[in-house]
Amino acid sequence: MKTKSVLEIADVKTIAAAAEAEAMANKWAVSIAIVDDGGHLLWLQRLDGAAPISAQIAPAKARTAALGRRESRVYEEMINAGRVSFLSAPGLDGLLEGGVPIMRDGQCIGAVGVSGVKSTEDSQIGRAGIAALGL
């Protein structure tokens, strides 16, 4: 049996604070979602000025990254390259860039999803949050 790390509430708060700081530093109004390795929502915040739909998209991106164990961008790229059958993948509804898995010792322990600005900027915010853990 293997031992696996899990996100604790202190970790979630650290990620959220760093992601929010990155968004605020760039004056980006976004929603930030953090999920566990099963895609279950642990944190959701919608910054002032963020579009209401972003609070739906951010958790979907995070869930997709956690369940797929890869950035949600990968799915968007596959679809854009013509593999449109991925649009019917069960349980994956955030097939857009902006979901970033949280990896530790080769294992996915959760993910961050961000929505509200350009997809590359969403990913930048998510990565900044994860970097605060020092993994």
Give me the sheet containing 31-36, strands edge to edge.
41-46, 31-36, 107-115, 99-104
Q: Is residue 1 part of a domain?
A: no
Backbone angles phi, psi at 110, to 5 degrees: 160, -165
Kindly give the confidence (pLDDT) of every residue in the chain, 135 residues in length, as a single tens digit, with 9 standing for 90 and above. Answer: 888 899 999 999 999 999 999 999 999 999 999 999 999 999 999 999 999 999 999 999 999 999 999 999 999 999 999 999 878 888 888 889 999 999 999 999 999 999 999 999 999 999 999 999 998
pLDDT, residue 86, reads 79
| Rounded Cα distance, 77 and 87, in Å | 12
Number of Cβ atoms within 10 Å of the Cβ of 112? 32
Report the pLDDT value the prediction gives residue 33, as an integer from 0 to 100: 98
| pLDDT for residue 60 | 97
34 lies in some domain: yes
What is the gyration radius of the CA atoms in the chain, in angstroms? 14
Residue 105 located in a structural domain: yes
Confirm whether 4 is domain-assigned: no
- Other C-beta atoms within 10 Å of 123: how many? 22
Number of domains comprising the chain: 1
Task: Domain of residue 121: give its range.
Answer: 9-131
